[in-house]
Chains A and B, each alone.
Chain A
Amino acid sequence: MPDLNKIIDIHELAKKYKGADHYSVNPITFSVLEGEVFGLLGPNGAGKTTLISMLCGLLDPTSGSFEIDGKTYGGNASELKKIIGVVPQEYALYPTLSATENLNYFGSMYGLKGKDLKKKIADSIEILGLTKFASKRIDTYSGGMKRRINLIAGILHNPKVLFLDEPTVGVDVHSKNVIIEYLKEINQQGTTIVYTSHHMAEAEDFCSHIAIVDRGRIFAEGKPNDLIDATPEARNLEDVFLSLTGKALRDA
């Protein structure tokens, strides 16, 4: 039985791609508590997307295990998928369908239908300021608008746990603000959020708990303010991040 407060319980979870000479995610153990906004922060190639992909059931782990609300993909995958929501980094939408058509389809894949689904779609679209574009094709949308529809597609079924992979990447300040405010509202309604990002200021403001990931390992974990306080001369999360991961470029 998982601890009542732990909604995600990860134990020695690791991933090594076939043919690779190193682990993308080294065996890691941590927990996410119910109602938290848990930020996974790290540079490019740190292993954030691989870790979140395993938690979303898109990749099989090489070793280790995890439970989400006491469920596993090996046991009752369908039940587990019903309680999670996923917002991938790509605009995972059909470009030639309208926002409503996309949301109607993805909502119905969660078993939603009829008036409830219609109302949920209309309400979400309204909150994110897209009502007058609802019947327009996605390929006519700006990047920020697509991001907002991408988010709605992941939360229509009121998931217990929401995984977000870089949900605000490449969007303007206004869209970013609308998205973060909406996520805060969802979190207040009881949804636990696991989120990856490069934006340190955004994470500092949004996350209640942070894990700094690099080279497939968790370097530090805790509340944003605790991490800042524990790092000498750090004034914000960015300083903590650079102090832990180094200042060298990672693309080389």
Chain B
Amino acid sequence: MHKLWQSIRKELLLLRRDIGGVIILFAMPLVLIIAVTLIQNAAYQRSGDVRIPILIVDNDKGNVSKSVFDNMNQSHAFELITKKEGVDLTEDSAKDAVFSGQYQLAIILPQNLSADLQAKIDQNVDKMLTSFGMGDSTKIKTPEREIGQKTVKLYFDPAVQMSFKTAVMNNIDKMISQIESKSIYDAFNEQLGAAGQPSFEQKSFIAFKEINPTVNNKEVKPNAVQHNVPAWTLFAMFFIVIPLSINMVKEKSQGTFIRLRTNPVSSAVVIGGKTVTYLIICIIQFYMMLAVGIWVFPLLDLPALNVDANFFMLTLVAVFSGLAATGYGILVGTIAKTQEQSAPFGATSVIILAAIGGVWVPVFAMPKFMQIVAMCSPMNWGLDAFYDVFLRNAGIREVLPEISLLFLFFAATITIALLYDKKKRSV
């Protein structure tokens, strides 16, 4: 025990002598979590303070285009631009501006969109009522005009992400459908002679209501903070791999590792000293991130992190995630021969583990094959356990599979490191 304590003391002393490194170790994750949450919160809750400027060319100038303008303004997501340098936009000028990257999107509303939509609906309603024997028999029959399909053109900046494109296209599609439905209802009202006194209730019959889980009788509403704090905390904890592996590579190059191998001290003590020290750092990082979520985020107009979830459970998941991160750092530090190997490999592999673990893109949204790969990432296990506790109010039984996997990962990485070291000795 005395040897273990001295090993921990030595590791803490080494960290204390590198104050710059320690500051980076704690400050960078905090900067990361604040920056990412600020950016992502805008996507979660569009409050209207940041609007995406889009070009719109109105060749219709009718009811439909008016509805499009009204709907888009009400969404608070877009700033509609119809003129550039004081000149009305044309399809060509809008297209050029988008393709050159000045704007992300241009919407071109075709000529006679409102008139042709109304005419088409009138024709259809008229036909329908006539087939039910309800048509106007006194009306003089005129030959039916052929009305072609109308196309609303969308020009996207090629650099725009697919998710943005899909969201915009879905919104516009929904808007046009609503305008069409309203026009159909209006046409029926008019034909049935009840103009000015609507015969139909035009409000949507089916409504949606989101029901969220409750923790301590309080609803846990998902927001960027509830998602980002666990995800990025885990990401930051795994970045411990870099200083830890550098620490081990330095011991090899300085010769202290050789000296330790000639001392009557077991590898368990040497590794135990590093594990406990770096686990302490992980837990401090974790609590600092929680503190930022609780007390700093509200100062930045972000929702405060809800930590009504069981604090013990959060700490438990953090400890096992920290163990997995430390084990991985020890493995990288054992295998790497130089800092030039350990630092880039450690950083890149953590980013890969985060990507496949669902830190950026949720696992359910990944292709089938990648969903299977995701199950192999310790960050995925940690993230699932954190979400279970943060958002689903899970207890120890629910997170047991994930924390068991995290512990097995720690045990496996340490075993591989010890075997690798033993094998190297027999060269």
Contact = CB atoms under 8 A, between A and B. Distances in A.
Q: How large is the interface on A (under 10, 10 to 19, 20 to 34, 35 or more residues)?
A: 35 or more
Contacts of B263: 81, 106, 109-110
B261 A17 contact: no
A82 B264 contact: yes
B5 to A, nearest CB: 9
Interface string A138-168: 0000000000000001100000000000000
Contacts of B260: 109
A32 B303 CA distance: 74
Interface in B405-427: 425-427
Interface string B238-264: 000000000000000011101111111
B262 A86 contact: yes
B6 A94 contact: no
Interface stretch (B12-20, B310-318, B368-376): B12-20
Contacts of B256: 92-94
B259 A92 contact: yes
Nearest to A163: B262
B254 A95 contact: yes
A110 B264 CA distance: 6
B3 interface: yes
A18 B9 CA distance: 38
Contacts, number: 80
Given A58-B258, A90-B255, A91-B254, A78 B6 contact: no
A86 B10 contact: no
Interface string A84-111: 1010111111111100010011101111
Interface in A200-219: none
Contacts of A3: none
A59 interface: yes
B10 A97 contact: yes
Contact of A96 (B18, B255, B262, B266): B18
B361 interface: no
Contact of B261 (A58, A104, A108, A154): A58
Which of A58, A93, A105, A111 has most chain B Cβ within 10 Å? A105
A105 B6 contact: yes
Contacts of B264: 78-79, 81-82, 109-111
Nearest to B9: A105
Contacts of A57: 261-262
Interface residues of B, number: 25
A88 B260 CA distance: 11
B265 interface: yes
A56 interface: yes
A145 B174 CA distance: 79
A110 B263 CA distance: 6
A97 B17 contact: yes
Contacts of B209: none
B397 interface: no
Contacts of B425: 58-60
Contacts of B203: none
Nearest to B5: A108
Nearest to A79: B264
B132 to A, nearest CB: 92
A223 interface: no
A57 B425 CA distance: 9
B2 interface: yes
Contacts of A111: 2-3, 264
A137 B2 CA distance: 24
A118 interface: no
A113 interface: yes
Contacts of B255: 88-93
B262 A60 contact: no
A109 B265 contact: yes
Contacts of A81: 262-264
A86 B2 contact: no
A106 B2 contact: no
A80 B265 CA distance: 12
Nearest to B425: A60
Interface string A38-73: 000000000000000000111110000000000000
Interface string A9-37: 00000000110000000000000000000
A232 B263 CA distance: 44
A94 B258 contact: no
Given A94-B10, A101-B13, A18 B427 contact: yes
B3 A92 contact: no
A104 B10 CA distance: 9
Which of B256, B261, B263 has most chain A Cβ within 10 Å? B263
Given A105-B10, A109-B260, A110-B264, A96 B2 contact: no
A94 B2 contact: no
A90 B265 contact: no
Interface in B1-44: 2-3, 6-7, 9-10, 13-14, 17-18
Contacts of A91: 254-255
B17 A108 contact: no
Contact of A59 (B6, B17, B427): B427
Nearest to B262: A86
A122 to B, nearest CB: 18
A153 B262 CA distance: 12
Interface in B249-300: 254-256, 258-266
B254 A106 contact: no
Given A59-B425, A109-B6, A137-B17, 17 more contacts: A17-B427, A57-B261, A79-B264, A81-B264, A86-B259, A86-B262, A92-B254, A93-B256, A94-B14, A97-B13, A105-B6, A105-B7, A105-B9, A109-B260, A109-B263, A110-B263, A113-B2
Interface of B: 2-3, 6-7, 9-10, 13-14, 17-18, 254-256, 258-266, 425-427
13 contacts: A18-B427, A58-B261, A59-B426, A60-B426, A81-B262, A82-B264, A88-B258, A91-B254, A91-B255, A92-B254, A97-B13, A109-B6, A109-B265
Interface of A: 17-18, 56-60, 78-79, 81-82, 84, 86, 88-97, 101, 104-106, 108-111, 113, 137, 153-154
Query: What are the nearest 5 A-B pairs in CB distance?
Result: A90-B255, A92-B255, A96-B17, A81-B264, A92-B259
